[in-house]
Amino acid sequence: MTTETFADLVAAEDVLLFVNAAITATGQREFHSGADRQQLSLDFLHTYVRVNYRRVYAASLALDINDHNAARIVQGLLEYAGEATAEEKRTEGRLIAARLAKLPPQRVYRLFRGLRAAKVNNRRTRAIMRDWLAARPDPAHDAVKYRSGLKNTARHAHLRLGGRGSSGEVGDFLFRPGKLPRYRNQLLDAWRRAHYERGAVDELPFTVAEGFAARHGMKREAFLERMAPRMTRLERLRTQGQRGAAAPRELPAGVDLSVMPLTRLALYVLTFSLELRSRHREELTSALRTAARRAAGPHAGGWGRVAAVLDDSYSSSGSGEKRRRPLAVALACHFLLEALAAPGAYTPLWTTGAGDPLLVVPRGPTPLGSRVLDALEYGPDRLVIVSDGWDNAPPGLAGEVLRVWRTRLDPDRGTAVVHVNPVYDADGFDVRRLSPGVPTAGIRDAEDLPALVEIARFSEGRTGPAALHSYLDRRVARFVTAGREGDPL
């Protein structure tokens, strides 16, 4: 009996380790480790969990994991379908359909290309591809914007795109170019005319029009001005810096920043110079608070007294692939925690001692220990630490402070402490932890913080593996129900 209990605890730890990795890791370079180590570590984790805990591996699709790992899980489930039972395949099919509906289309087409390269072409895979494509709102738009992806998918899934109507035109467009002198669909015909007619370029999606603009020798600035009405909000923000300096000199005109997702808005704000942030402090702070209140939802004001230790040390600058990502997560968490706390009951403490969150920049060491001491003096109901876990001023002080606090000063756990970490540690196959007695969860977007706090409690060891698996089953049931419309199997 003891052996079974120990095995169950090990399994639960493995599950939490994988969930943390699937939330934070993307195989890209981080501040403390290169892309090769990240990728090798992630490869091992995916294989290990798929082979040993396939049910949990599939259930991870219902959690707040990042798109990179969601696509990898889908490919792993389909590529090694022979390892699953018939019942597992049915559950996996529903999970896959629901997750693909949430993924960006370009990532799904990339996934399908990977399945074709791996020669995964069974009936189940073809059904998933067919039903995902059938749910796409505009096949002509996909044919123009994701031409090679749609073409490869149609071939691999043995889809018939011929015949009459719009699907017939899409088939001719992809596989028989030049057969029709013109297309009835305006977008397909605009693509045809754009090869020799400048005016047709303005009718295309922005990312497609860029290539034709370069072919016609159109000046970049004039092209961006002409395409502005057809750009999405994110495209306007992305191209804003291309009209001059690398960093925006002024806030974008005609764009409501408050409708952006909280973490993405924090990332965008950090691209501004300190002078611009200071000059538009009121407007930017208002946008961040609006996004935070929207992210808090029903939890707003319900967390009581909250203290936060927020890492803005030099390592929060991230890497070339994830520039300022850790700092942006900390900034977004700051505004979200402000919304979650009771009115006037929030205390933020930045590791550098910064007083204005809008002007934070990554600099200096990481004195987490002293900041944790300061935060605990306020006697909060909750203490949230947002850091990559590299406590180095002095090393290990935060862990010792938390150990003494938990074992001697607050054994009854009057203060709930949780550590959320936005950086995957390739060497440890997990996010770095500050103390064994403090739950730690990986985080990618601040919006997921309330759900991650719920997951983190399982790492304390006070709830058994049965409770963890029950939680996963509830998440799967909700996730599948929400995506039931696209059920392929």
Give the model confidence (pLDDT) of 186-201 as tens digits: 999 999 999 999 889 9
Which of 234, 398, 247 shows the shortest CA–CA distance to 309?
A: 398
- 123: Cβ–Cβ under 8 A, 6 or more apart, which residues? none
Length, in residues, of the chain: 489
* pLDDT cut 90: percent of the chain above it: 56
Q: Are residues 220 and 329 in the same domain?
A: no
Residue 267 has pLDDT above 50, yes or no: yes
Question: Average pLDDT in the 385-405 region?
Answer: 91
Look at residue 150 and tell me whether its pLDDT is greater than 80: yes
- The reply to whether 388 and 310 lie within a common domain is yes
Q: Report how far residue 34's alpha carbon sits from residue 307's, in angstroms, rounded to the nearest whole number.
A: 33
pLDDT of 313 strictly over 70:
yes
Inform me whether the pLDDT recorded for 489 exceeds 60.
no
Q: Which residues contact 80 (CB under 8 A, 6 or more apart)?
A: 50
Output the pLDDT for position 240: 66
Of 2, 54, 13, 1, residue with least CA distance to 463: 13
Can you read off the two tokens belonging to residue 16? 């939490």
Q: Same structural domain for residues 338 and 209?
A: no
| Same domain membership, residue 236 and residue 276 | no
Q: Is residue 287 part of a domain?
A: yes
| The pLDDT of residue 487 | 45
- Say if residue 245's pLDDT is above 70: no
Residue 306 and residue 364 in one domain = yes
User: Is residue 379 in some structural domain?
Assistant: yes
**Same-domain pairing of 287 and 331:** yes
294 belongs to a structural domain: yes
Q: What are the CA-CA distances from residue 460 to residues 404, 413, 417, 437, 476 (Å)?
A: 16, 12, 11, 6, 23
Higher pLDDT, 9 or 388: 388
**Percentage of residues in the chain having pLDDT higher than 70:** 92
In a domain, 89, yes or no: no
Give the integer Cα–Cα distance in Å for 199 and 212.
11
Q: Are residues 212 and 274 in the same domain?
A: no
Task: Give pLDDT, residue 358.
Answer: 94
Verify that 210 and 307 share a domain, yes or no.
Answer: no
Q: What angle is formed at CA 31 by the lines to CA 265 and CA 453, rounded to 5 degrees? A: 55
The pTM of this model reads 0.86
One domain for residues 402 and 345: yes
Average pLDDT over residues 426-446: 88
- Of 97-111, 386-400, 435-449, which has the strongest mean pLDDT? 97-111
The CATH number for 322's domain is 3.40.50
Q: Please report whether residue 437 resides in a domain.
A: yes
- Looking at residue 3, what is its pLDDT? 43
Are residue 218 and residue 340 in the same domain, yes or no? Answer: no
Residue 94: its pLDDT value, please?
Answer: 94
What's the domain count of the chain? 2
Judged against a pLDDT cut of 50, whether residue 244 lies above it is answered with no
Residue 426 lies in a domain: yes
Phi, psi dihedrals of residue 99, rounded to the nearest 5°: -75, -40
Mean pLDDT of 114-120: 94
The pLDDT of residue 305 is above 70: yes
Average pLDDT over residues 27-56: 89
pLDDT on residue 249: 64
pLDDT of 486 above 50: no
Chain centre distance of CA 438:
24
The answer to whether residues 268 and 224 belong to one domain is no
For residue 16, is it within any domain?
no
Query: Which residues constitute the domain of residue 438?
Result: 264-462
Classify residue 449: in a domain, yes or no.
yes
Cα–Cα distance for residue pair 384/340, rounded to 1 Å: 12
Average pLDDT over residues 441-451: 91
Kindly state the tokens that stand for 350: 């930045």
Highest mean pLDDT out of 20-34, 242-256, 273-287: 273-287
Q: Are 101 and 135 in contact (CB under 8 A)?
A: yes
State the Cα–Cα distance between residues 70 and 140, nearest whole angstrom: 27
Mean pLDDT across 253-259: 76
State whether 277 and 239 are in the same domain.
no
Structure confidence at residue 166 as a pLDDT band (50, 70, 90): low
